[in-house]
Structure 1
Amino acid sequence: MRFGFAALLLAAAAAPTVAQDRKPPASNAELQKEKIEAAYANAPVEEREERSKGAVTVGGQRLPYTATAGTLTLRDLEGKPTASMFYTAYTLDGTKPGTKRPITFFYNGGPGSPTFWLHMGSFAPMRLRTGNPEFIRPAPYDFGPNPYTLLDKTDMVFLDAIGAGYSRPLGDMKPSAFYGTDEDADAFAKAILRYATKFGRWNSPKFLFGESYGTLRSGALAYQLQDRGMALNGVVLLSSIMNYGYRQPGLDQVYLNYLPSYAATAWYHNRLPNRPADVATIVQQARDFAVGPYMSALAKGQDISDAERDQVATRMSQLIGLSPDFIKRANLRIDLPRFQKELLRGSRQTIGRFDSRYTGTDSDAAGERPETDASSDAISGAFIATFSDYVTHTLGYKTDMPYRLSARDAAGWTWNWQHDAPNRMGKQNNPNTAVDLAAAMRANPYLQVLSMNGWYDMATPFFGTENDLGHMMLEPAQRPNLQFTYYPAGHMAYLNPEALAAMKRDLSAWYDRAVSVARSGTPPVAPSVGASEGPAQTPN
């Protein structure tokens, strides 16, 4: 009894304290704020999967597949969810966990871009059909089965970067945790590891396929995955930029990198006085000039003689179609916007950046730079509209969240360009992940790398790619693992149907080779992949 009475006294004594600790009723303003926040559309912590069936015919063979639009939840080492990454996967029907069927992870670049460009335009079973380098007509768009899909060679997973598309940070995670060279690569590594674990793909031959900044991601990612126990079979680099160091103001390498692309563009638009029969010829002439007289002239800076300046400007004019006087007034250094504006100035037209085959018209024909990128304007509406319809009504992924066309559109966008290079090479302020890829290739003698390039890509010029990858300092035994192909196209080389067909042939042969090399246990001694305009090659 005494114990019970004491308990009552204690309860009575505690009652006022409980009442004092109770949260006061929320004001109308607070209730309204909570209601609004509760109505926000957020990325799911629980992983989503929306599955649908389809079929595509490749080379006379019908390929039934399952399309999965869903999310992967990324977690830290303690298991806390940190981000939700949206993906679309295409798997051949009958594929089971533990399969030895290849799988490829695709992504675009930006940084901060979602992957609907590659998804809608390249090698998925469904594709937006494109044609001439001109503005795609408004809806309805020509979207349907893709006879050039890679589904006959590999399952495919298209991943959106955190902050882009439907991918988002979770909980209290800040965007800065994902907006950076190494932070971004870490997120993709976690997503790929999660996918392999969830769907039983650890024993599948694994490939990366990156476009634009996605190639820089691939360099870091290949090393990070290998460091975490996932050795890759191959990496495809489409329209590469592996080294941002060359793009710093005051460095001459960027002018060397662009010269062969300028020559290819001048050839295409028929601006050369002695135009050769094919683009590869003028490109090789520009390559030879760039690493010889042009490099020597730029290295001399203001100390170059008048005679040498005149000689170099005259040869440049023959290669890139601008007047010697304009070239000399630019100190032999032609910035891209100036070239875009100057090449066709006489016809009051500009040329595109992503694809210099495209032309546009500015309001001011005397301006210094194009007012817009004609090659981007020509395709963006069609890609955005087609994906928006396809993901909702065919794939069945429905959400109130907006599909962000770029992570840069969100608040808090700042990209951390620092990169922690492997093997104690130290911090880089301007990342060069070709050194990461080289480290992965040295450790894994079976890792195959295919660099695919468009002659008319002015965003990531192919000669810059040759320079970046040609300085990985690979040993002779590893050099056959690195191959190059070239196409009559721009940055998104698959927009050109002729190029897409050639890319499909080259990739099919390359996948067969990469898989057979790993299965045979014998590193290759010579490349076997063809190229659309000349043999596959390793640059000097």
Structure 2
Amino acid sequence: MKFAALFALTTCLIAAPLAAQQDGKPTAKAEKSDTPPTAVPDPMRSVTRHSGTFGGTRVAYRAIAGDTYLKDKDGKPLASITSYSYIKEGPVDPNRPVTFLWNGGPGSGSLWLHMGAFGPRRVVVPGDARDDGAPPFPIIDNPDSLLDVTDIVFIDPVGTGFSRTLGDTDPKNYWGVTQDAKSMADFIRLWLNEHGRWNAPKYIGGESYGTTRSAAVIRELEGTYTDVSINGIILISSILDFSQAADVPGNELGYVTNLPTMAATAWYHNKVADRPATVEAFAAEARAFAIGPYASALLKGNALTEAEREAILPPLARFTGVSQTYLRQADLRLSPSRFYKELLRDRGLTVGRLDTRYTGVDYDAAGERPDNDPSFYGIDGAYTAAMNQWSREGLKYSPDLTYSAIGGTRDWDWNIAGGPRGGSGYLNIAPWIGKAMRENSGLRVLVAQGYYDFATPFFGAEYSLNRTGIPTDGRIEWHYYEAGHMMYVRDEDLRKLSADIRAFIRKR
């Protein structure tokens, strides 16, 4: 590869003087650049062999950690995608599934699902919403990995983990809803080529923005004539319709879809009068109130009478755990950031965003919004340490790069013009899943939601996949967990999540 680059450069330098004179007539001299092309290194890859017990079954597997280069039509490397493939040893079983997984952000590496849920090794953090503290963090064998039922490929999109652009390629070419999805679909095709798995059952899935990515990737895989048919999509902590998160005056939808998560959080922190025995029961009450009386009141806007306003305040206070006085001052509209600060203000605590079971202590208790998210800084150190330790020491893949856990991309292109109805002004890509299901009768969807997740509220996920055009023939299954965005930090929920997905894969 280095020789080819040197040959191309030498050819250009030789050709330049010849272009300076044609037919005996002098022409403008080509300028010689003082900046040499950026060298592209050879791809790194490590293969190691391991064994473990997963789902009660002993599995010998090989791990392939390393780079896959995406190239242009002329074979020029443009970007390197790092992946971690775990493949069962032995002859290829044509019926053995392969599952491609990623996280979200956008800008997040796959370390959360990799080292927290489904990889053969995982890091242990407190499951009861306590801070992870300082190292060393326990990294243990993971009996809840899915390797007994599927090979697994964890993928870090460009700009995350060790994945990056190469040479002079602009990274923004990969930082957008569609651009990112195209690169992931390209990677999947290359992986299937390399491993001879084109006719294997295939699953894709992700967490958070990774569910957005999953919808965009299914469009790239199944929406063209070079079809890659998929058996199932795994959506963990879903965000498909971003209109719910649009903090725009006059947009009432987010208040409606957020309210059941507020209710679950108030229930967890014992801020509910006449508290039901289970969070499931209270969440069911909150759903009915949110889509009924509460939505009706908000949609009336200034036409809401004073009597109607006073009638809605007591149940709204009960479901949110926030005083009627505060809710009256907020005009019945309680934003998430205000809720994080207000719910436990009397205790001098804030609640988390990714997982509202977590609590934090701010600089002072007087502010309107929290200083930070205790459910993120409560786990991030452990995951970053575990990912680097396992990759560099366990898998022997140790590039001279910093692993970017999250935040490695900028200026994300959210434009999806030519996509679902509404185009780029209304970012809802759930219709892409509906279209894929209508055109692939074997495609099923699993949705996993935490009751205490405020980043991607469970009622918002339900709303997104309950719209016109989404098949209602039972191919979407729902599962709920008593934790937050990363429900697998709680051991009981990791076991349940693993069992739910294992059963989903076996159902094919």
Q: Deviations over 1:230-289 (max 9, x none)?
A: 010000000000011232212110011100000000000011111000001110101000
Distance across 1 between alignment mates of 2:31 and 2:257: 65
Mapping for residues 151-170 of structure 1, pairs under 5 Å:
151-170=147-166
Distance across 2 between alignment mates of 1:43 and 1:128: 34
Deviation at 1:58, TM superposition (A): 2.6
Aligned amino acid, residue 229 of structure 2: A
Partner of 1:114: 109
Mapping for residues 481-500 of structure 1, pairs under 5 Å:
481-500=475-494
Q: Is the 8 A contact 1:181 1:217 kept in 2?
A: yes
Aligned amino acid, residue 413 of structure 2: N
Mapping for residues 276-425 of structure 1, pairs under 5 Å:
276-406=276-406, 408-409=407-408, 413-422=410-419, 425=421
Deviation at 1:374, TM superposition (A): 0.4
Aligned amino acid, residue 238 of structure 2: S
Q: Deviations over 1:475-508 (max 9, x none)?
A: 44xx311111100010011111011111112112
Distance 1:245 1:341, change over 3 A: same
Distance across 2 between alignment mates of 1:166 and 1:202: 27
**Helix, strand or coil at the partner of 1:470:** coil
**Helix, strand or coil at the partner of 2:479:** strand
Aligned amino acid, residue 383 of structure 1: Y
Distance across 2 between alignment mates of 1:446 and 1:439: 13
Q: Deviations over 1:451-472 (max 9, x none)?
A: 1000000100000000001115
Gaps of 5+ in 2: 1-20
Between the aligned residues of both structures, percent identity stands at: 39
Aligned amino acid, residue 412 of structure 2: W
1:135 aligned to which of 122, 131, 134: 131
Distance across 2 between alignment mates of 1:135 and 1:389: 20
Deviation at 1:351, TM superposition (A): 0.4
Q: Is the 8 A contact 1:422 1:439 kept in 2?
A: no
* Alpha-carbon RMSD: 2.3
Distance across 2 between alignment mates of 1:124 and 1:409: 23
Distance across 1 between alignment mates of 2:173 and 2:408: 17
Distance across 1 between alignment mates of 2:30 and 2:230: 57
Gaps of 5+ in 1: 1-12, 516-540
Q: Is the 8 A contact 1:434 1:472 kept in 2?
A: no
**Helix, strand or coil at the partner of 1:285:** helix
Distance across 1 between alignment mates of 2:57 and 2:288: 45
Deviation at 1:422, TM superposition (A): 4.7
- Relative contact order, higher structure (CA 8 A, sep 6+): 2
Deviation at 1:405, TM superposition (A): 2.7
Partner of 2:94: 99
**Which deviates further from its counterpart, 48-57 or 490-499?**
48-57
Distance across 2 between alignment mates of 1:72 and 1:363: 45
Deviation at 1:343, TM superposition (A): 0.6
Q: Greater Rg, structure 1 or structure 2?
A: 1
Deviation at 1:420, TM superposition (A): 3.8
Distance 1:114 1:281, change over 3 A: same
Mapping for residues 75-224 of structure 1, pairs under 5 Å:
75-96=71-92, 99-130=94-125, 131-224=127-220
Distance 1:510 1:367, change over 3 A: same
Aligned amino acid, residue 495 of structure 1: V
2:506 aligned to which of 495, 508, 512: 512
Q: Is the 8 A contact 1:182 1:420 kept in 2?
A: no
Distance across 2 between alignment mates of 1:428 and 1:304: 33
TM-score normalised to structure 1 length? 0.85
Aligned amino acid, residue 238 of structure 1: I
Aligned amino acid, residue 402 of structure 1: T
TM-score normalised to structure 2 length? 0.90
Aligned amino acid, residue 125 of structure 1: P
Aligned pairs, number: 480
Aligned amino acid, residue 297 of structure 1: A
Partner of 2:16: none
Partner of 1:480: 474
Q: Is the 8 A contact 1:43 1:168 kept in 2?
A: no
**Helix, strand or coil at the partner of 1:453:** strand
Deviation at 1:61, TM superposition (A): 2.5
Q: Deviations over 1:67-109 (max 9, x none)?
A: 110111112344432211000111111153x732100011011
Q: Deviations over 1:321-344 (max 9, x none)?
A: 111111111111100011000110
1:53 paired with 2:49, answer yes
Distance 1:22 1:239, change over 3 A: closer
**Helix, strand or coil at the partner of 1:307:** helix
Aligned amino acid, residue 169 of structure 2: M
Aligned amino acid, residue 247 of structure 1: A
Distance 1:161 1:269, change over 3 A: same
Distance across 2 between alignment mates of 1:214 and 1:434: 13
Deviation at 1:386, TM superposition (A): 1.2
Distance across 2 between alignment mates of 1:71 and 1:187: 14
Deviation at 1:172, TM superposition (A): 2.7
1:73 aligned to which of 37, 52, 69: 69
Distance 1:421 1:153, change over 3 A: farther
Distance across 1 between alignment mates of 2:135 and 2:371: 25
Q: Is the 8 A contact 1:105 1:157 kept in 2?
A: yes
